[in-house]
Amino acid sequence: MSSPSRFDVLISEVGPRDGLQSISTTMSTAHKCAWIDGLVASGVQEIEVGSFVSPKLLPQMADAAQIVTHAIQHSGVTVMALVPNIKGAEAAMRAGVHKITLPVSASPAHSMANVRKTHQQMVEEVRAIAQLRDDLAPQVHIEAGISTAFGCTLQGLVPEDDVIALSVACVAAGANESGLSDTTGMANPAQVKRLFTRLRSELGDHAGAAHMHNTRGLGLANCLAAYEAGVRTFDASQAGLGGCPYAPGASGNVVTEDLVFMFEAMGIRTGIDIERLLAARNALAAGLPGEALYGMLPPAGLPKGFVPHPYSTH
């Protein structure tokens, strides 16, 4: 697992899962491995490398176990995978992941569309997976990511009390932490700060990551609001790839390159070398020729005179 001494905020790279499952092109296993190698070389400390779901549903993730086998060879990196159910959780644990994340939707409509389960059924799934973890791989860390926490394209507004109650229930069921996801890109900074303040008040150290989307251009502002509320772990996707197949119109994640630059420019250490991160973007582009890549920093470059924090290797 990663050491907290090299950074003030943890950037969790979700592109190899969230990004790749959201596009029609399937990146080859070799290109995925090369991309992950580039991310690790830049200093990224946590990578969501895939999801353990039926290859019939997501053929882009069919090689998840192979990718985990490759990724866990890197020391000092937390290798994470998304699992929608206990079958996927067992496969992920047997593959050797350090951390699993479960999508638990605060919107009943999205929950049924995404995992075909109600809130209570998903909480019970968390409980069953936590028991399996205790029996099979007690070192594995479980995160319950509360999706559609800031609004849902299917049902509209999501009551904040419901979001907090669901997070608390997931931790009570055995999850190590519960974070909040702006799956649909509907969040605003005031809402983000308010909801994460409540979450941290309820869960303390069990409050997890901020997963923001840039659908309406507020991704970085929302991350900053979460930081001001005390959040120190942020999901991001290189080149802004990502979305949700069950949330129409919910375009890409916060761009990793832009988020790292924002924090480093503020004097907040990420432990990531920006130049090497941009080099990893080249590996991504090589594996997805013709795919649109996003971000403000890559075309603009670093400002003249910009001096990032010294980069330290693993």
The band of 6, judged by pLDDT with boundaries at 50, 70 and 90, is confident
Identify the H or E element spanning 134: helix 119-136
Residue type for position 119: H
What token pair was written down for 227?
A: 């930081």
The answer to whether the CB of 262 falls within 8 A of the CB of 212 is no
Please pick, among 152, 170, 223, 244, the residue that the annotation labels catalytic.
Answer: 244
For residues 206 and 213, give the distance between their C-alpha atoms in angstroms, rounded to a whole number: 22
How much is the pLDDT for 148? 93
At 142, which helix (H) or strand (E)? strand 141-147
Indicate the SS3 state at residue 203.
helix
pLDDT tier, 36 (very low <50, low <70, confident <90, very high otherwise): very high
CA dist., res. 244 & res. 125, Å (int): 21
What per-residue confidence (pLDDT) applies to 4?
45
Q: What percent of the chain has pLDDT over 70?
A: 92
pLDDT level of residue 289 (50, 70, 90 thresholds) = very high
Give 72-95 as a 3 state SS string.
CCCCCCEEEEECCCHHHHHHHHHH
Q: Is residue 102 over pLDDT 90? A: yes
Q: Who has greater pLDDT, 311 or 300?
A: 300
Sign (positive or negative) of CA dihedral 149, 153, 154, 157: positive
CB burial of residue 62 (10 Å; 0-12, 13-18, 19+)? middle
Predicted confidence (pLDDT) per residue in 103-148, tens digit = 999 987 766 666 677 888 889 999 999 999 999 999 999 999 999 9
Q: Is 33 marked active-site?
A: no
Instruction: Tell me the pLDDT band of 313, cut-offs 50, 70 and 90.
Output: very low
Cα separation, 169 vs 6, in Å, equals: 33
Q: What is the mean pLDDT of the chain?
A: 92
The pLDDT value given to residue 243: 63
pLDDT digit string, tens, across residues 239-270? 999 865 554 554 689 999 999 999 999 999 99
Rounded to whole angstroms, how far apart are CA atoms 10 and 175?
19
User: What is the rounded distance in angstroms from the CA atom of residue 23 to the CA atom of residue 157?
Assistant: 27
The count of C-alpha atoms lying within 13 angstroms of the C-alpha of 7, restricted to the half-sphere facing its C-beta, is: 25
> Residue 52's pLDDT is what?
98
- Of the candidates 158, 251, 180, 258, the residue with the CA atom closest to the CA atom of residue 213: 251
CB atoms within 10 A of CB 132: 17
Quick one: pLDDT at residue 108? 73
CATH number given to 4-300: 3.20.20.70
Mean pLDDT of 196-222: 96
Answer yes or no: is pLDDT of 225 > 70: yes
What are residue 9's phi and psi, to 5 degrees? -130, 145
- Burial of residue 308 (number of CB atoms within 10 Å: 0-12, 13-18, 19+): middle
Domain locations along the chain: 4-300
Which has more confidence, 158 or 2?
Answer: 158
Residues 195-210, mean pLDDT to the nearest whole number: 98
Per-residue pLDDT tens digits for 59-76: 999 999 999 999 999 999
Other beta carbons within 10 angstroms of residue 63's beta carbon come to 20
